[in-house]
Amino acid sequence: MQWQRRLMALLLMSGLFAEAGASPASATASWHLRVVTEQGDTLVDAAAPQGSRWCIQWQHSVEHFTVLDCYRNAGGTMQLERSHQPDFAAGLGHIFGRGEQVSDGQGGYWINAIDEPVANNRYVLRVGSTAVNHRVMWPDGEHPTVSLSERAAGQRVTIALSSR
Protein backbone atom coordinates (compact mmCIF):
# COMPACT_ATOMS: atom_id res chain seq x y z
CA MET A 1 0.00 0.00 0.00
CA GLN A 2 2.87 2.38 0.85
CA TRP A 3 4.50 1.82 -2.54
CA GLN A 4 1.19 2.74 -4.27
CA ARG A 5 1.04 6.08 -2.44
CA ARG A 6 4.65 6.81 -3.35
CA LEU A 7 4.00 5.94 -7.00
CA MET A 8 0.92 8.19 -7.07
CA ALA A 9 2.91 11.06 -5.52
CA LEU A 10 5.70 10.56 -8.05
CA LEU A 11 3.25 10.54 -10.96
CA LEU A 12 1.51 13.67 -9.70
CA MET A 13 4.82 15.50 -9.29
CA SER A 14 6.00 14.44 -12.73
CA GLY A 15 2.79 15.60 -14.39
CA LEU A 16 2.14 12.15 -15.88
CA PHE A 17 -1.11 11.74 -13.97
CA ALA A 18 -3.75 14.42 -13.80
CA GLU A 19 -7.17 14.12 -12.25
CA ALA A 20 -10.06 14.73 -14.69
CA GLY A 21 -7.73 16.14 -17.31
CA ALA A 22 -6.51 19.00 -15.12
CA SER A 23 -2.84 19.78 -14.90
CA PRO A 24 -1.25 19.95 -11.44
CA ALA A 25 -0.76 23.71 -11.96
CA SER A 26 -4.46 24.29 -12.67
CA ALA A 27 -5.37 22.19 -9.65
CA THR A 28 -3.54 24.56 -7.31
CA ALA A 29 -4.31 27.86 -9.07
CA SER A 30 -6.52 30.44 -7.41
CA TRP A 31 -9.26 30.89 -10.02
CA HIS A 32 -11.49 33.96 -10.22
CA LEU A 33 -14.44 35.02 -12.29
CA ARG A 34 -13.89 38.60 -13.32
CA VAL A 35 -16.12 41.04 -15.16
CA VAL A 36 -14.27 44.18 -16.28
CA THR A 37 -15.42 47.18 -18.33
CA GLU A 38 -13.43 48.54 -21.29
CA GLN A 39 -12.34 51.37 -18.98
CA GLY A 40 -10.83 48.82 -16.58
CA ASP A 41 -13.50 49.04 -13.85
CA THR A 42 -13.97 45.71 -12.08
CA LEU A 43 -17.65 44.81 -11.67
CA VAL A 44 -17.10 41.24 -10.40
CA ASP A 45 -14.05 39.58 -8.89
CA ALA A 46 -15.22 36.37 -7.24
CA ALA A 47 -13.42 33.19 -6.30
CA ALA A 48 -14.25 30.44 -8.84
CA PRO A 49 -12.33 27.31 -7.85
CA GLN A 50 -12.42 24.20 -10.01
CA GLY A 51 -15.94 22.83 -10.26
CA SER A 52 -17.62 26.12 -9.38
CA ARG A 53 -20.63 27.23 -11.42
CA TRP A 54 -22.13 30.59 -12.30
CA CYS A 55 -24.76 31.89 -14.71
CA ILE A 56 -25.36 34.99 -16.76
CA GLN A 57 -29.05 35.74 -16.35
CA TRP A 58 -31.16 38.29 -18.22
CA GLN A 59 -34.63 39.18 -19.41
CA HIS A 60 -35.21 38.46 -23.11
CA SER A 61 -35.61 41.85 -24.79
CA VAL A 62 -38.58 40.79 -26.96
CA GLU A 63 -40.45 38.17 -24.89
CA HIS A 64 -39.39 39.54 -21.45
CA PHE A 65 -38.75 36.16 -19.83
CA THR A 66 -35.64 35.07 -17.95
CA VAL A 67 -32.83 33.35 -19.86
CA LEU A 68 -29.80 31.66 -18.28
CA ASP A 69 -26.42 30.69 -19.72
CA CYS A 70 -24.58 28.65 -17.10
CA TYR A 71 -20.83 28.08 -16.96
CA ARG A 72 -18.36 26.12 -14.86
CA ASN A 73 -14.67 26.03 -14.13
CA ALA A 74 -13.69 22.66 -15.61
CA GLY A 75 -10.04 22.17 -14.73
CA GLY A 76 -9.17 25.82 -15.39
CA THR A 77 -11.29 26.07 -18.54
CA MET A 78 -14.45 28.16 -18.66
CA GLN A 79 -17.13 25.94 -20.18
CA LEU A 80 -20.66 26.79 -21.24
CA GLU A 81 -22.34 23.95 -19.39
CA ARG A 82 -26.06 24.51 -19.94
CA SER A 83 -28.66 27.04 -20.98
CA HIS A 84 -32.27 27.63 -19.93
CA GLN A 85 -35.00 29.18 -22.06
CA PRO A 86 -38.68 29.19 -21.23
CA ASP A 87 -39.64 29.48 -24.91
CA PHE A 88 -38.39 29.18 -28.49
CA ALA A 89 -38.36 32.96 -28.87
CA ALA A 90 -36.39 35.13 -31.28
CA GLY A 91 -32.74 34.11 -31.32
CA LEU A 92 -33.17 31.17 -28.94
CA GLY A 93 -33.38 27.46 -29.48
CA HIS A 94 -31.53 24.20 -29.43
CA ILE A 95 -28.94 23.43 -32.09
CA PHE A 96 -28.90 19.74 -32.98
CA GLY A 97 -25.71 18.05 -31.78
CA ARG A 98 -24.98 20.75 -29.18
CA GLY A 99 -26.09 19.46 -25.81
CA GLU A 100 -29.31 17.71 -24.93
CA GLN A 101 -32.66 19.48 -24.75
CA VAL A 102 -34.87 18.49 -21.80
CA SER A 103 -38.09 19.92 -20.43
CA ASP A 104 -37.89 22.06 -17.31
CA GLY A 105 -41.36 20.81 -16.33
CA GLN A 106 -42.83 24.32 -16.58
CA GLY A 107 -43.18 24.78 -20.34
CA GLY A 108 -39.57 25.78 -20.94
CA TYR A 109 -36.45 23.76 -21.47
CA TRP A 110 -32.83 23.27 -20.46
CA ILE A 111 -30.10 22.49 -22.94
CA ASN A 112 -27.80 20.35 -20.79
CA ALA A 113 -24.35 18.90 -21.45
CA ILE A 114 -23.29 21.63 -23.87
CA ASP A 115 -19.83 21.53 -22.23
CA GLU A 116 -18.37 23.92 -24.78
CA PRO A 117 -15.06 25.59 -23.88
CA VAL A 118 -15.06 29.39 -24.09
CA ALA A 119 -12.15 30.53 -26.27
CA ASN A 120 -9.32 31.99 -24.19
CA ASN A 121 -11.47 31.69 -21.04
CA ARG A 122 -13.16 35.00 -21.84
CA TYR A 123 -15.84 36.65 -23.90
CA VAL A 124 -17.23 40.12 -24.46
CA LEU A 125 -20.83 41.01 -23.62
CA ARG A 126 -22.65 44.24 -24.43
CA VAL A 127 -24.62 44.77 -21.24
CA GLY A 128 -28.31 45.45 -21.71
CA SER A 129 -30.43 48.14 -20.11
CA THR A 130 -31.88 47.74 -16.63
CA ALA A 131 -35.02 46.30 -18.32
CA VAL A 132 -32.84 43.47 -19.69
CA ASN A 133 -30.90 43.33 -16.41
CA HIS A 134 -27.86 41.24 -17.28
CA ARG A 135 -26.59 39.80 -14.03
CA VAL A 136 -24.11 37.26 -12.71
CA MET A 137 -25.59 34.74 -10.31
CA TRP A 138 -24.32 31.64 -8.59
CA PRO A 139 -26.80 28.71 -8.50
CA ASP A 140 -25.46 27.55 -5.14
CA GLY A 141 -25.74 31.05 -3.63
CA GLU A 142 -21.99 31.11 -2.97
CA HIS A 143 -21.81 34.80 -3.93
CA PRO A 144 -24.47 37.51 -4.10
CA THR A 145 -26.06 38.18 -7.50
CA VAL A 146 -24.48 41.17 -9.26
CA SER A 147 -26.49 43.28 -11.72
CA LEU A 148 -24.17 44.29 -14.55
CA SER A 149 -26.93 46.46 -16.03
CA GLU A 150 -27.11 48.64 -12.91
CA ARG A 151 -23.41 49.44 -13.24
CA ALA A 152 -22.59 49.21 -16.95
CA ALA A 153 -25.75 49.36 -19.12
CA GLY A 154 -24.86 49.80 -22.80
CA GLN A 155 -21.17 49.08 -22.20
CA ARG A 156 -18.97 46.24 -23.39
CA VAL A 157 -17.58 44.11 -20.57
CA THR A 158 -15.20 41.17 -20.59
CA ILE A 159 -16.27 38.12 -18.61
CA ALA A 160 -13.22 36.00 -17.85
CA LEU A 161 -12.03 33.06 -15.80
CA SER A 162 -8.44 33.69 -14.75
CA SER A 163 -5.91 32.49 -12.23
CA ARG A 164 -3.85 34.58 -9.88
Is 117 inside a domain boundary?
yes
* Counted domains in the chain: 1
CB atoms within 10 A of CB 67: 22
Pairing of strands 66-74, 42-47: unpaired
The full DSSP string for 113-145 is ---EEPGGGEEEEE---TTT--EEE-TT-SS--
The answer to whether the CB of 144 falls within 8 A of the CB of 135 is no
1 lies in some domain: no
pTM (2 d.p.) = 0.76
Q: Give the CA angle between residues 139, 112, 97 to the nearest 5°.
A: 155
Q: Measuring CA to CA, how many Å separate 123 from each of 6, 33, 120? A: 42, 12, 8
Q: Which amino acid is at 46?
A: A
Cα first-last separation, the chain: 36
- Does residue 12 sit within a domain? no
Kindly state whether residue 128 falls inside one of the protein's structural domains: yes
pLDDT score at 29: 79
Whether 42 is in a domain gets the answer yes
Per-residue pLDDT of the chain (164 residues; tens, 9 = 90+): 332 333 333 333 333 333 334 445 555 679 999 999 999 999 999 999 999 999 999 998 777 788 999 999 999 999 999 998 876 654 445 455 667 777 788 777 788 888 999 999 999 999 999 999 999 999 999 999 999 999 999 999 999 999 97
H helix runs in the chain, sequence order: 2-14, 24-28, 148-152
Range of the domain at 132: 29-163
Q: Let me know if residue 47 belongs to a domain.
A: yes
Within a domain: 48: yes
Position 14 in a domain: no
Residue 114 near residue 83 (C-beta atoms within 8 A): yes
Task: Tell me what pLDDT residue 61 has.
Answer: 75
Strand partners, 34: 45, 160
pLDDT in tens, 129-155: 999 999 999 999 999 999 999 999 999
Q: φ and ψ at 10, to 5 degrees?
A: -65, -45
pLDDT value of residue 88: 60
